[in-house]
Amino acid sequence: MASSELELVRELIGLNWHTRNGDVEPRRVAYDRAQEAFGHLGLPPGETVVIGDCSAEWVRPAQEDGRTLLYLHGGSYALGSPQSHRHLSSALGAAAGAAVLALHYRRPPESPFPAAVEDAVAAYRMLRERGLPPGRITFAGDSAGAGLAVAALQVLRDAGDPLPAAAVCISPWADLACEGASHVTRKEREILLDTEDLLRMAGRYLAGTDPRNPLASPAHGDLTGLPPLLIQVGSEEVLYDDARALEQAALKAGVPVTFDEWPEMFHVWHWYHPVLPEGRAAVETAGVFLRRATEEGER
């Protein structure tokens, strides 16, 4: 049974329906400010790191033991930032016992595909250049950030880079063609996403690239050799079939994958963890997965 807080969160999301569509820049501002609803958390900006053509923020300071989580925020690629997800990435890092480097990857329409993928790869390589062993590094991302994490892993694998210990994919947007049946079957149950808006955002990101390109839509990729994946998805999401397709791609490739479905939950419910018990529980589950992966990476 869902918590009593769930209905309150649903009402709050409904009040902000108008922020789902429109020009990119006002939506970016609104998204970054949305986390102010949880202002009591008091999370100030962390140290900024320049990585090539983008930047990143140490949401949780680097630790002596080197256990580090590279976090890739969601927002349909064009929205979101370390600021919009600071409360979430920090909580996930705490659950994983890891420092958190939150990447501010380049976004469309200013910088379309594959800029974000290049930035994610560069961020991981920067961590490695600092002397962090791959077994002490993990990836996590939500929505577009989850797809981006798997895309970056494919690039790193193909380049022969040692791969991180594991990755968590929260409500992954893994098929930018939006062809999953759940876009229809769960349309009336979805409270956050709109498929037509997703397709517009995909068009901005892809800028003419085939949406089935595996570095844009990893559900269409060959995931052979990737590290263990945890896929978390809510039962009410239009992206539910994206999560299933990503799981099937991992299984086909022999990648260890855990599919974690949460009844009655919506897209990236983790983001509401300060007020939603299910969000806190999902963050903790993901943190345990990441912590265990790095512990195994030490052996």
Mean pLDDT by 10 residues, the chain (299 residues): 80 62 87 77 81 95 86 97 95 96 98 98 97 97 98 98 98 98 96 95 98 98 98 98 98 98 96 95 98 82
- To the query of whether residue 4 is one of the catalytic residues in this protein, the response is no
User: By the 8 A CB rule, do 13 and 283 touch?
Assistant: no
pTM (2 decimals)?
0.95
Instruction: Using CB atoms within 10 Å of the CB of residue 140, give its burial: 0 to 12 exposed, 13 to 18 middle, 19+ buried.
Output: buried
Collect all residues with Cβ–Cβ distance below 8 Å to 267 and sequence separation of at least 6: 143, 171, 190, 191, 192, 193, 234, 237, 238, 239
- CATH domain 5-17+24-297 topology: Rossmann fold (3.40.50)
Closest CA to 227 of 169, 268, 183: 169
Catalytic residue (one of 81, 143, 171, 217): 143
pLDDT of residue 293: 97
pLDDT of residue 18: 47
pLDDT of residue 34: 85
* Digit-coded pLDDT (tens) for 94-124: 999 999 999 999 999 999 999 999 999 999 9
Q: How far apart are CA 234 and CA 90, in angstroms?
A: 21
